[in-house]
Amino acid sequence: MGIEEFVNKSEGEWRSMRSGHSLAFRQFEQVISSIKISSLSIDDKKVVDIINTHSNVPGEIIIPFSMEWEAESDWENENISSSSSGSTILIPFAISTKKGYIIRSEGYTEKMKVLSYYSFLSDGTLLLSTEYQHTVSEERIWFIAEHVRCRSSVTKDKKSLGILQTSFASEVRRVNNSNQN
């Protein structure tokens, strides 16, 4: 599994069930949202704009894509910030078939342009490591069926590396027929 195959497999509309665990407070949050993933042309103006501001990122540009999300229902705790809807453009820079960087036009945890490091485990699980201004996020995304992905994340405080939150999402692709597997 390389990043191109992973993005190709991820294209489409997904319905996500996401649970968050605040470890220190033992609080749960849960959100149902829609996510749309679409590949973009490397000549797309928005893609070119982002690339131009990150000319120092090493690697070969591969399959830029966009993600749009919208929360359908949200029982989140007030002290956890997240957008109920939004979109981001992601541009992978491969430094080998199994690893590289991804530029994101807007981060999930903090709103800024962010650079993630990605790699793959032996079973094709995508690992994403991202430094934000105050936090570090480690995500893993893996397919459990053609139309079902799992995504887990860990958010750590950047200074203390204390774990602030974990989360887990089950994502089911919207398909025309009812077979989701």
Establish if 40 lies at the interface with a second copy (CB under 8 A). no
Please, how many CA atoms are within 13 Å of residue 40, restricted to the half-sphere of its CB? 21
Alpha helices in the chain (DSSP H): 3-10, 45-52
Which of 127, 129, 131, 136 is the binder for a second copy (CB under 8 A)?
A: 127
Determine the Cα–Cα distance for residues 36 and 53; give it in Å rounded to an integer.
Answer: 25
Using CB under 8 A, which of the segments 3-11, 51-59, 85-93, 122-130 binds a second copy?
A: 122-130
Establish if 160 lies at the interface with a second copy (CB under 8 A). yes
Using CB under 8 A, which of the segments 38-46, 49-57, 60-68, 166-174 binds a second copy?
A: 166-174
Establish if 41 lies at the interface with a second copy (CB under 8 A). no
Which of 4, 11, 21, 111 is the binder for a second copy (CB under 8 A)?
A: 21
Exposed e or buried b per residue across 104-129, where buried means at least 16 C-beta atoms within 10 angstroms of its C-beta: bbbbbbeeeebbbebebeeeebbbbe
Q: How far is the CB of 74 from a second copy (least distance, A)?
A: 12
Establish if 61 lies at the interface with a second copy (CB under 8 A). no
**Listed residue (93, 94, 121, 101) closest to 1, CA to CA:** 121
Establish if 152 lies at the interface with a second copy (CB under 8 A). yes
Determine the Cα–Cα distance for residues 49 and 137; give it in Å rounded to an integer.
Answer: 25
Using CB under 8 A, which of the segments 46-54, 55-63, 103-111, 158-166 binds a second copy?
A: 158-166
Q: Residue 31 contacts by C-beta under 8 Å, 6 or more apart in sequence?
A: 16, 17, 18, 20, 71, 73, 74, 75, 76, 82
For a second copy, the closer of residues 42 and 121 by Cβ is: 121
Determine the Cα–Cα distance for residues 31 and 63; give it in Å rounded to an integer.
Answer: 29
Which of 8, 32, 74, 158 is the binder for a second copy (CB under 8 A)?
A: 32
Write out the residues near a second copy by the rule CB under 8 A.
Answer: 15, 17, 19, 21, 23, 26, 28, 30, 32, 121-123, 125, 127, 138, 144-145, 148, 150, 152, 154, 160-163, 166, 168, 170, 172, 180-181
